[in-house]
Structure 1
Amino acid sequence: MAKETVYIVQAYKAGRGKGLKAEQQVGCKDAEEARRKAERLAPIREGVVAFGASAGVGLGDYDGNPVI
């Protein structure tokens, strides 16, 4: 079964009180692009995380989400 990996950058801005509000996720073509985008966003957002998720294409069975 073929596995496919998606790379995503998730940024957060200040929410109410001490909370965070998630912004729109950004898809990336590879781990390096996700890392660069996260590093660019880090100084101007409250929080940023880049991660990849692998899944069996036919089953949709995802592995854990390692942080990049």
Structure 2
Amino acid sequence: MASLPLLVNLGIRTVATLYYVQGFRQKGRKLEPDQPQQSKSAEAAIAAAERIAPMRAGVWAYSAEVDVEADTYDEPKVLFKAGNLPEGVAD
């Protein structure tokens, strides 16, 4: 499992905020996702997304809160987006 940088104990739950960057490549009419890459902070995720944006059809950076004990993720929060993204991503 990825490192959990910001652990917060909310009574029963232990929550961590994780940051990711994911690019998409154009393959014909389809957008193929790259493997999401974890970043150490929101700023690092945005910077990484800005770096790869010129090389991808689309890219987004996002954060997600994970309940460590239940291994559940909340809806992602969009930090940055550029280019073409699949329907339903970064809405």
| TM-score range normalised by the length of the shorter chain | 0.7 to 0.9
TM-score by length of 1: 0.88
Q: Please report how far the alpha carbon of residue 61 of structure 1 lies from its aligned counterpart in structure 2 after TM superposition.
A: 2.6
Structure 1 gap ranges (5+): none
**How do 1:17-28 residues align onto structure 2 when only pairs under 5 Å count?**
17-28=28-39
Q: 2: CA distance between counterparts of 1:33 and 1:6?
A: 12
Task: Point out which structure has higher relative CO (alpha carbons under 8 A, 6+ apart).
Answer: 1
Runs of 4+ aligned structure 1 residues displaced above 6 Å come to none
Residue 58 of structure 2 aligns with an amino acid whose one-letter code is: G
What residue number does 1:5 align with? 17
Residue 49 of structure 2 aligns with an amino acid whose one-letter code is: A
Match of 1:40 among 51, 67, 70: 51
What RMSD, in angstroms, separates the aligned Cα atoms of the two structures?
1.1
Q: 2: CA distance between counterparts of 1:51 and 1:22?
A: 14
Q: 2: CA distance between counterparts of 1:36 and 1:18?
A: 28
Give the match's secondary structure for 1:24: coil
Larger strand fraction of residues: 2
Structure 2 gap ranges (5+): 1-12, 80-91
Which deviates further from its counterpart, 53-62 or 30-39? Answer: 53-62
How many residue pairs get matched? 67
Larger helix fraction of residues: 1
